[in-house]
Structure 1
Amino acid sequence: MNWLSNFARPGLRGKKPDEARETPDNLWIKDPLSGDLVFRADLEAADWVTPSGFHMRIGPEPRFRQMFDEQAWQKIPLPKVATDPLKFKDDKKYVDRLKSARTKVGREDCMAAGYGRIGGAHAVVLVQDFDFMGGSLGMAAGEGFVTAAEAAVRRKAAMIMVTASGGARMQEGILSLMQMPRTTLAIQMLREAGLPYIVVLSDPTTGGVTASYAMLGDVHIAEPNALIGFAGPRVIEQTIRQKLPEGFQRSEYLLDKGMVDLVVDRRQLKATISTLLSVLMHKRYANMPTEGDETFELDSIAPSEAAPAKKKQSASKQPRAKAAE
């Protein structure tokens, strides 16, 4: 026996590897604005707004939990579309990029839709996830938008669109650009049905998304300091060779110029939307024409609910993937 063992207390001996305590890598998150470390649980409780007021990018699930009453909603299934019809390849195949993005976020594309109540009013919320290829607009995203709009009309609900995108998806070429008029027709369908369409502009909202459904809402709400525009400020400066004003293309600048209606802190977003819906939906609820006195409850809508035959103008169709057996 080694003579040192006589002086070593059993409790001080090193733990075996399987007994070591594991600390999550993301327990603390750095505030991009102040540089301070923020406890993750505190950040989640504050809707991912740091103590300095910086609004961090969040995905669909946190948005749904924040917006819907009692954090209860029903997922609206979005259809699949043909994968890589152009067989696009740059330094990496498009199909490989899609696989990586789907593994990262756990969904087929950047759009996610849910149905529930906001302040008691029926609402369909569609959220764009920037973590999926920069929230770029492609066929799947366009199809998701049209599907959500059809669901809102079918359920006589308002539609809330939360944008976060770098623009059109380059890998889909003209098929991506076609989604701009398709989403515009879907918004017209909402207007013909007399349903509110509210847009929440988060950071960033740029490119073809800004040039289409992001700027066609009845009310435009922007989160603080969100970048909103078509081309980015750096591209504009290099093109016109002039220095842009301070805060150019940020929410507060656009509010001052009349491009958005409100700049609202994320923690006040649900209360703001609830107030808007209480006004915009009140007259409709009072005079709503019913079809056989049919009403919709949150737990009574089947995910496979088929849409009725379309009337008047509707968004054009595009190839969809065959349903899995």
Structure 2
Amino acid sequence: MAGGRNSTIVIRFILLGFSDYPKLKIVLFAVFLGSYFLTVAWNLGLIILIRMDSYLRTPMYFFLSNLSFLDFCYVTSTTPRMLSDFFQKPRSISFWGCTIQYFFFSSLGLTECCLLAAMAYDRYAAICDPLLYTATMSPTLCVQMTVGAYITGLFGSLIQLCALLQLNFCGPNIINHFFCDLPQLLVLSCSETFFLKVMKFVIAVIFGVISVFVIMISYGYILATILKISSVEGRSKAFNTCTSHLTAVICFYGSGLFVYMHPSTDNSLGHDKMASVFYTMVIPMLNPLIYSLRNKEIKDAIKRCKKKAFSHCHC
């Protein structure tokens, strides 16, 4: 490909990844590989635990198992490719490979936004109307909300993909990132990107801001209900059922909105890369821990599994 911006059509992109830190290549590879293995093990382990333990067959853990599945797919959509790029020269990816990677990454991220909002509604139903909780959060409704989250996320990503495919890329073809993300592609396009930038902002508002608004309303009612509980123990128990979800929400939306709500410029892409490490690798790794460390039901389920395994070993 020639060097000028308007000289030819780009059919491959070069992912810079973390080539800015050549002396840290082995260290970064080991850290990211270790975090990927931990993410896969913890998320799949949590899914298996929820499926195996009959005491965890409740709406909250149904949503949590889907969140773990999303996090597993989310990190797998970018990390294996990024790890292989540490030892490849050039770190190239085809135009179609780039757009497909972005499509899956985007649809999983948007789905997680919707699922986190559904989980907030579940906590609202459990704390604000406990007597009707089982009837309100019926298995049918839980499945409908989850399937709706997947379909909505897929549809939102498909709209962006269709718009992205209308752009022309004439060079340069170097992406200052470790995966194909929309802000980086917009900077490289030689087409008019105003429409897609507006679309990116609108989708961020619809999926990010509106989801956060739903979560805030749910937690507003939850807080009002908790403050009416007379016993300290009751308030503490109610708070503990919400803190894990709130922590996950703050981490996910905080880093995601930072990347997708501000204008993309050449100077901002380096900061976007570091923020992306947080929400593409760190958060999926931490979510199982966030939901498990202070969760008595998860700890009890682990103990029951250990007892079953121990008894089978002695049979």
Normalized per residue, the structure richer in helix is 2
Tell me if TM exceeds 0.5: no
Normalized against structure 1, the TM-score is what? 0.28
Normalized per residue, the structure richer in strand is 1
